[in-house]
Amino acid sequence: MKLDGTTVYADGGYCGCGPKMSNNVAEYSGVAAAMTEAEKYEGRIIIRGDSKLAIMQLQGKWKVKGGLYYPFYLRAREVYARILDRVKMEWIPRVENDECDFLSKQVLKDRGVIFRIQQGPLEEK
């Protein structure tokens, strides 16, 4: 999080793994944590995120259909409601979100997760 161009807060977190986990759970956990931290500061807040689902649903532009992320959506919506009058949310493409991408991957690396490049479908010879 930046205040007048200076980073005042940067963090990543681990949500878990397994059948009760999804990328949307992680996205909503992250946006709720960011809004909770932003709530501590005065003034206008701009939250930029690369999860189009989270950004659009929280703004009421897309319907919420439920799923594993639903309880996390409710938590994020609760925090968003408290700062609604001074927050603006913007979707940005993942390629423009290097800082958050780094923080999220670092949490996994710290837990011993090894990243590898996935190969595409094999071509028949």
Token match 């992680």: residue?
26
Mean pLDDT across the stretch 7-24?
82
Domain boundaries, the chain: 2-99
pTM of structure: 0.78
CA dihedral 87, 89, 95, 99 (to 10 degrees): 20
Q: Which CATH number is associated with domain 2-99? A: 3.30.420.10
- The helix/strand/coil state of 9 is coil
What is the model's pLDDT at position 125?
A: 46
pLDDT tens digits along 60-116: 999 998 889 999 999 999 999 999 998 888 898 888 888 777 777 777 788 887 877
What secondary structure letter does DSSP report for 87? E
pLDDT tens readout for residues 18-56: 888 888 998 999 899 989 998 998 888 888 888 999 999
Determine the Cα–Cα distance for residues 10 and 27; give it in Å rounded to an integer: 15
